[in-house]
Amino acid sequence: MTLPNLTQKVSIAAEITTQAELAEKVYSLSVRAPEIAATAQPGQFVQLRILEPSFTLRRPVGVAAVDKQRGEVTFIYRAIGRGTAALAALMPGESVGVLGPLGHGFGMGYSHPLLVGGGMGLSPLLYVAAAYAGKADVLMGGKTADELFWTELFAPLGGRTFITTDDGSLGTKGFTTTLLPDLLEAKDASYDAVLVCGPEIMMRGVAKIAAAHGLPCEVSLEKRMGCGLGACLSCSIDTAHGRRKVCKDGPVFPAEEVFL
């Protein structure tokens, strides 16, 4: 399987065009970054740096959408700590440092992939779904219906949407792994890959099921990282091919290289 290559990265102070709260503590942030909008591949990420007040370390976030014509890039993030809370306080017209696009994204050569996501992992899958232009379906899981505001974001992108919730308040009761075998074994199923982003326990379960069905599976790993450029080694992991850096060699890896 061929994963997209690194594209030309830039480091800019980008003007914020939109900052909107989508759900409790979950924000959609758009910035003017034409160079990044022109080259970012689905599954790649950027490092955001809060300039005011100045933060030394950048925070990694996946690319959720690009608008090449307007030269804008959108990220969806949860405010869970000091950095993301400071990010949420920024207003349109202010600037944020953006370094990217970074890493390797998802394979884009499949004919009918199934995207599987949970929590904030659904954010980069939005861009994957948009790029597949209706050829990808999505299976999304959440604890309760309240978490699945994502359905509205995926709806305009085409493709079918399948939902699971832990408590059964929306879609099938259970986890994504509860519904996945049915989807892969359905009479009309024609999936040729499973692309996953979400909590590691979910990705491991999905990868096992995909392997049992003989399907290629790509997973997007989340590791704490410093530089995002492969220099500081803080996001190194052991893989079937030796030590790899999530920021540079990933974040997307073939599942069998990192899990099985």
Residues contributing to the site for ligand FAD (CB under 6 A) = 45, 59-62, 75-78, 80-84, 120, 123-124, 222-225, 251
d(CA 84, CA 119): 16
Task: Enumerate residues 6+ apart whose C-beta is below 8 A from 157.
Answer: 126, 129, 130, 133, 134
| Angle at which helices 176-185 and 200-212 cross, to 10° | 20
d(CA 42, CA 64): 8
Could you tell me the two tokens for 258? 């990192």
For residue 189, the minimal CB distance to ligand FAD (Å) is 29
For residue 218, the minimal CB distance to ligand FAD (Å) is 14
For residue 190, the minimal CB distance to ligand FAD (Å) is 29
What residue is closest to ligand FAD based on CB?
81
3-state secondary structure of 95: strand
Q: Are strands 217-220 and 172-173 parallel, antiparallel or unpaired?
A: unpaired
Residue closer to ligand FAD (CB basis): 148 or 184:
148
3-state secondary structure of 215: coil
Residue closer to ligand FAD (CB basis): 115 or 183:
115
Residue closer to ligand FAD (CB basis): 32 or 248:
248
For residue 66, the minimal CB distance to ligand FAD (Å) is 14
Q: Cis omega before residue 251 (within 30°)?
A: yes
Residues 117, 151 contacting (CB under 8 angstroms) = no
Q: Residue 166: phi, psi to the nearest 5?
A: -60, -40
Residue closer to ligand FAD (CB basis): 40 or 120:
120
d(CA 244, CA 258): 10
Residue closer to ligand FAD (CB basis): 215 or 258:
258
Task: Give the Cβ contact number of residue 191 at 10 Å.
Answer: 18
For residue 12, the minimal CB distance to ligand FAD (Å) is 19
Residue closer to ligand FAD (CB basis): 61 or 65:
61
For the chain, the residue count is 260
- The greatest distance separating any two alpha carbons of the chain, rounded to the nearest whole angstrom, comes to 56
Residue closer to ligand FAD (CB basis): 82 or 243:
82
For residue 120, the minimal CB distance to ligand FAD (Å) is 4
For residue 111, the minimal CB distance to ligand FAD (Å) is 26
